[in-house]
Structure 1
Amino acid sequence: MADLSTPTNDAQSEQTAESLITMTAKDGGNVDHAGAIIDHIDIWTTAIEQKSSAGRGSSNKFSLYGIKKLRELILELAVRGKLVPQASREARNSANYEPASVLLERIAAEKAQLVKEGKLKKQKPLPEIREDEKSFELPVGWEWVRLQDIIQISSGKNLTSKTMIHDGGVPVYGGNGIAGYHDTYNVSSSTLVIGRVGFYCGSVHITPDFAWVTDNAFITRFNEASLFIEFLYWLFKATDLSKNDSATAQPVISGSKVYPIVVAIPPTEEQHRIVAKVDELMSLCDALEAQTEASISAHQTLVETLLNALLLPQATANTASQCNVSLEPSFTNSFVKDWQRVAEHFDTLFTTAASIDTLKQTILQLAVMGKLVKQNPNDEPAAKLLERIAKEKVQQIKEGKIKKQKPLPAITDEEKPFELPQGWEWVRFGTLFKSFSNGLYKPAKFYTDDGVISLRMYNIQSGMIDFRGAKRVEVEPNELAQFLLEPNDLLINRVNSKELVGKTAIIPITEEPLVYESMNMRAKPFSEYLSAKYLNLFMMTGIVQESISTFAKEAIGQASINQGQVSSIKTPLPPLEEQNRIVAKVDELMTLCDQLKARLSDAQTTQLHLTDAIVEQVV
């Protein structure tokens, strides 16, 4: 078996990337700053920030925060003159050396000539740079300058998607880079483009020689003999060009916002050396990022492979042999070996939020397959429960308490996804419920602080009702009677994104009445004969999510399911006593998983803070 502590096949290339980072950082000439990069490679690659996810407890969305901060550190060192060595005293005394003050004089002279020729509008002088605007001590030969003194910006030209010639070969640049293609151009040389409006306000791109720049971006002009375009690109990347954007719903920057920004300019020759070093280090960051992502992906694949082995059909039963482990796996030697393989490497396997979520999903799946707790031959079989439910249903129909439902089709052997333990039965989900009802629709004006709580789709979270943000709605007595929720009712979300539609929760005991809005449906189980909590955890399993995904109808970015589709879901039903044992075991294991996840989150937060501290210390 592979070494589980190294879940990647690319360890050698990762070591190569780290050694290249080390060599190129040392080559920068500043040992202290090189050390910040070299000594903390492990922190850069392991500081991972979990992104909030709209999925069913999925934690597959993350950002490589450490490498992101490493990129920021590289740029910060670059624009402070700390990434490459400055010219030596001997070089500064040579006839060819030109400090930044000289190139700024040349730029000013060129601007004055353009104004004189009427090619450039004279700009209102900006105030002298104050001492408090100088954020660090300049290296020898560098100069502070406002952007107005070195660049001119102007908006591109409007070009909508409809008017683009999409099979043209000329790239069209908006605020976020290439937005399409056209058959003509409005810039004929490599151009620095700055996003000027919207989410990508302040983003920076360099066009090829021929391109079209739309009015969502600025075209930047400057003295190309004195300023290197790639240096300005990295300088603007390191500068918050949108910090002075207009405080509107749609962020916008203009010359009046950009021109006052203060930056540091190095000599032209040093600009080229800075760009070469930044390009080299950014490429190496790309390599580290790819290797880290590959390692995380390989780790998750390993976790899924080992856990999926627990879900495979077992060839032979071995009820006499039981393994004394926390999941209490049973029935086969094969299952026991698969679980022992996981248990032996538990601390190595479950080190990410995604791996813990996969474990939680596996626990649910094992639960409804009869592999989580031991069976007891003395339990009343599920077939007897179904007989009593059927009799109760007939009686309640006769008494007018519930409506007669359309018979659900029998489950064929071909439809059964796995073999059930003795005493269990396959049954359609709808068979286990008295009724299904869609929720209450009321216009916005009825939602007031004086109404009763109306549970919306946002109140269904991780199999439970979350009352945070709950809205109140004014209802008539007949509406309250019709849409009243009772303890052990199952609330099912029927309209949502495809990821979330079908999520469920059990209604708890509350001190005040609850109703539910129209995006949800209520299912009333025969709770005298069933564990509503078991039915709820079943609805959270992958097998149900796959079923819902196949029949959910999508329209305008949302998916919907109906009562008939939910009723048709194939459901593994254990004896009532085993349902209760399963629920207790799942609760116990989910608590342990949540504790594990909380410790992981604390560790990740510490890593993020440590990363920030390293950056602050260096710059």
Structure 2
Amino acid sequence: MTVKTSLEMSKDTSKPEQLITEHIDIWTSAILAKSTSGRGSSKKYELYGIGKLRGLIFDLAVRGKLVTQDSNDEPASKLIERIVTRKLSQVHNDEKIFALPLGWSWVRLEDIADINGGFAFKSSDYTSDGIRVIRISDFDEMGFKNDKVVRYPYSLDLERYKLEEENILMAMTGGTVGKSLLVKALPEPMVVNQRVATIKLIQGIDSTYMNSLIRSELIQSVINEAKNSTNDNISMKSIKNFLIPLPPSSEQRRIVAKVDELMLLCDQLEQQTEASIEAHTTLVEVLLSALTDSADADELAQNWARIAEHFDSLFTTEQSIEALKQTVLQLAVMGKLVPQNPNDEPASVLLERINEVKSKLVKEEGLRTSASKELNADDEYLTQPHGWEWMRLGNLAKFIDYRGKTPTKIESGVRLITAKNIRFGYVDLKPEEFISEDEYTSWMTRGFPKQGDTLFTPEAPLGNAANIDIKGKFALAQRAICFQWHLSEISNFLLLQILAQPFQLQLIDNATGMTATGIKASKLKEIPMIIPPLAEQHRIVAKVDELMAICDQLKEKLKQSQETQVQLTDALVDRALG
């Protein structure tokens, strides 16, 4: 794509609609990764550009920039005189956010609509039959949700709360405050719950235009300002006070038709972009699977060379880069990442040394961490390369575990490392928490973690792990386990193995709990670990470090590209709004 500066775009584009249609590549290229997916969605990305385009269309519509004005249209002032019988609220000049096109008028929402709140139903009184109750969670901009329908015995007292076609619903509280739904059809009689506003427009005001207005930045900014000052709430007074740029009746209809046309374009762009993303994801999955299916390091090198030729076009999303990282880890623990050396000291000799250290710790320090020595074919979840061996986790390390206790936290003192600090592959010192020197002495009675040990989260979240690189003493909180390896030289490879998918699947298979999945220490100790010769471990770790550095470079390049696309998108919006 040829990137244009906002200045160049302002020179070659004179009309807002041209900004929309002539820069499709920019709208569809601004894609951001999601940290978490929304309810009911498995998408790991946000179509930022298309989302901004939808918002821009609404904003242009309510500023009179989306369709041409017709001097023959009856002015909005005449429309208001004809349809409004109540006394109009005053609109001061300093409230008018922008200049209106000829024939438009500023009015307040309460002047052109009846606005009511819902009834305060008690959830304990809901029944399996009766009239349907619409709560905030029962609708979104697409329509009604039918997964958790609630009902209430109907009486005439509820008549004023009944919903009608062409009403607009608006959420007044919570995380979705400001969302709206234009009710085009009622599948059954409905009444509205509290904290949901019902907007019933005076005949002559186009409800679709008004719903577009509510979804525009003009109204949403008012809602955001109100909710930021009232803890995610907007009052009925604020809704009634919305300042409305009202076009002539004929122009309202032309705006609605143009919005529908351009929203259809957005739908098509969204579908095409999502199809392209899914095709790209499938291609990456197939190519990475070819790597893990390689018979040996030589075949892997050939498959890797084919991928390496197209790195810049393959790994262009955060999801694809993370998939590459996980593939590298999986190749590492499968013994396919580096060539084997028949002259390496076999892993069996390494395990003998580990057992010697363990026996000494049992005898001299009363080590209790242990696991079964016996393994059978069913325990082995990876194909064992030549010269590699298996040993259960509980026989490789001492477990330092403070689960079941909670220290008293203070503002400063000895650093406390909690599960929140243990991320996937690294220790994050934020958030910072501390305990006193005295409590550190009385608290840390089960062992002292040190540099080179591995920290692990057995629950919430399950399976994060990182090697300790903290200088100085620190305390270890509950819901965090320290693996103090009997031989520190094995820590780097075993961390890779813990982070790799095969071991993570073992954690899931041995975990318990529905909402907060976790694994008991007794189960964790019994999970087998595959152990290469020590010299091969060092070669594997060095190769992984090299490839992870490439992944980090790809991620930084992606970040810079995303920032550029977002800036271009925002520049287009600013230009269109003038």
| TM-score above 0.5 | yes
Shift in CA distance, 137/434, structure 1 to aligned 2, threshold 3 Å: closer
Deviations 1:308-363, CA, capped at 9 Å, x for gaps: 1211262xx6xxxxxxxxxxx33x4xx34432332232221111111111111111
* 2:35 is the alignment partner of 1:52: yes
How many residues of Structure 1 are paired with residues of Structure 2 in the alignment?
Answer: 541
Q: 1:129 aligns with which of 50, 74, 92?
A: 92
> Match of 1:201?
177
Match of 1:158, SS? coil
> Match of 1:216?
195
Q: 1:452 aligns with which of 414, 417, 430?
A: 414
Q: What is the identity, as a one-letter code, of the residue corresponding to 2:370?
A: Q
Match of 1:426, SS? strand
> Match of 1:182?
151
Q: 1:503 aligns with which of 453, 460, 464?
A: 464
- Cα shift at 1:576: 0.8
Shift in CA distance, 409/250, structure 1 to aligned 2, threshold 3 Å: farther
- Cα shift at 1:441: 2.3
* 2:530 is the alignment partner of 1:549: no
* 2:69 is the alignment partner of 1:100: no
CA distance in structure 2 between the partners assigned to 1:560 and 1:242 by the alignment: 41
CA distance in structure 2 between the partners assigned to 1:545 and 1:284 by the alignment: 43
Contact kept? 1:488, 1:527, Cα under 8 Å = no
CA distance in structure 1 between the partners assigned to 2:322 and 2:235 by the alignment: 46
* 2:14 is the alignment partner of 1:65: no
Q: How does 1:558-569 map to 2 (within 5 A)?
A: 558-569=516-527
Q: What is the identity, as a one-letter code, of the residue corresponding to 1:522?
A: C
Q: 2:67 aligns with which of 59, 84, 87?
A: 84
Q: What is the identity, as a one-letter code, of the residue corresponding to 1:236?
A: I
Q: 1:533 aligns with which of 457, 467, 492?
A: 492
CA distance in structure 2 between the partners assigned to 1:599 and 1:406 by the alignment: 45
Q: 1:358 aligns with which of 292, 313, 323?
A: 323
Shift in CA distance, 582/149, structure 1 to aligned 2, threshold 3 Å: same
> Match of 1:237?
215
Shift in CA distance, 603/433, structure 1 to aligned 2, threshold 3 Å: same
Q: 1:516 aligns with which of 470, 476, 479?
A: 476
TM value normalised by structure 1: 0.81
Shift in CA distance, 404/206, structure 1 to aligned 2, threshold 3 Å: closer
Q: How does 1:320-469 map to 2 (within 5 A)?
A: 329-330=297-298, 332=299, 335-403=300-368, 405-412=370-377, 414-439=378-403, 441-443=405-407, 446-469=408-431
Match of 2:513, SS? strand
> Match of 2:5?
none
Match of 1:357, SS? helix
Q: How does 1:576-587 map to 2 (within 5 A)?
A: 576-587=534-545
* 2:240 is the alignment partner of 1:259: yes
Q: What is the identity, as a one-letter code, of the residue corresponding to 1:390?
A: N
Shift in CA distance, 79/464, structure 1 to aligned 2, threshold 3 Å: same
Contact kept? 1:101, 1:141, Cα under 8 Å = yes
- Cα shift at 1:514: 1.3
Gaps of 5+ in 2: 2-12
Contact kept? 1:383, 1:424, Cα under 8 Å = yes
CA distance in structure 1 between the partners assigned to 2:225 and 2:550 by the alignment: 47
CA distance in structure 2 between the partners assigned to 1:234 and 1:524 by the alignment: 60
Q: 2:292 aligns with which of 311, 319, 323?
A: 311
CA distance in structure 2 between the partners assigned to 1:435 and 1:252 by the alignment: 48
CA distance in structure 2 between the partners assigned to 1:127 and 1:194 by the alignment: 24
- Cα shift at 1:613: 0.4
Match of 2:466, SS? strand
Q: What is the identity, as a one-letter code, of the residue corresponding to 1:464?
A: Y
- Cα shift at 1:546: 1.3
Match of 1:559, SS? coil
Q: How does 1:24-39 map to 2 (within 5 A)?
A: 32-39=15-22
Shift in CA distance, 141/449, structure 1 to aligned 2, threshold 3 Å: closer
Deviations 1:126-173, CA, capped at 9 Å, x for gaps: 44321x433333222211222232223111113355544456684624
Q: What is the identity, as a one-letter code, of the residue corresponding to 1:590?
A: M
Contact kept? 1:151, 1:221, Cα under 8 Å = yes
Shift in CA distance, 247/188, structure 1 to aligned 2, threshold 3 Å: closer
Match of 2:344, SS? coil
CA distance in structure 2 between the partners assigned to 1:204 and 1:396 by the alignment: 66
- Cα shift at 1:35: 1.3
- Cα shift at 1:540: 0.5
Contact kept? 1:155, 1:219, Cα under 8 Å = yes
> Match of 1:19?
none
Q: 1:589 aligns with which of 529, 532, 547?
A: 547
Match of 2:107, SS? strand
> Match of 1:152?
114
Shift in CA distance, 535/165, structure 1 to aligned 2, threshold 3 Å: same
CA distance in structure 1 between the partners assigned to 2:493 and 2:43 by the alignment: 27
Match of 1:536, SS? helix
Identity %: 37
Gaps of 5+ in 1: 6-29, 113-124, 318-328
With 401-410 and 261-270 compared, the bigger mean Cα shift is at: 401-410
CA distance in structure 1 between the partners assigned to 2:574 and 2:395 by the alignment: 62
With 391-400 and 377-386 compared, the bigger mean Cα shift is at: 391-400
CA distance in structure 1 between the partners assigned to 2:511 and 2:176 by the alignment: 35
- Cα shift at 1:246: 5.5
CA distance in structure 2 between the partners assigned to 1:306 and 1:501 by the alignment: 29
Contact kept? 2:498, 2:504, Cα under 8 Å = yes
> Match of 1:479?
443
CA distance in structure 2 between the partners assigned to 1:419 and 1:247 by the alignment: 56
- Cα shift at 1:586: 1.2
> Match of 1:325?
none
Match of 1:554, SS? coil
CA distance in structure 2 between the partners assigned to 1:60 and 1:584 by the alignment: 34
Shift in CA distance, 376/296, structure 1 to aligned 2, threshold 3 Å: same
Shift in CA distance, 181/400, structure 1 to aligned 2, threshold 3 Å: closer
Deviations 1:468-525, CA, capped at 9 Å, x for gaps: 22211131524334342112222111220xxx31211112251x21121111112211
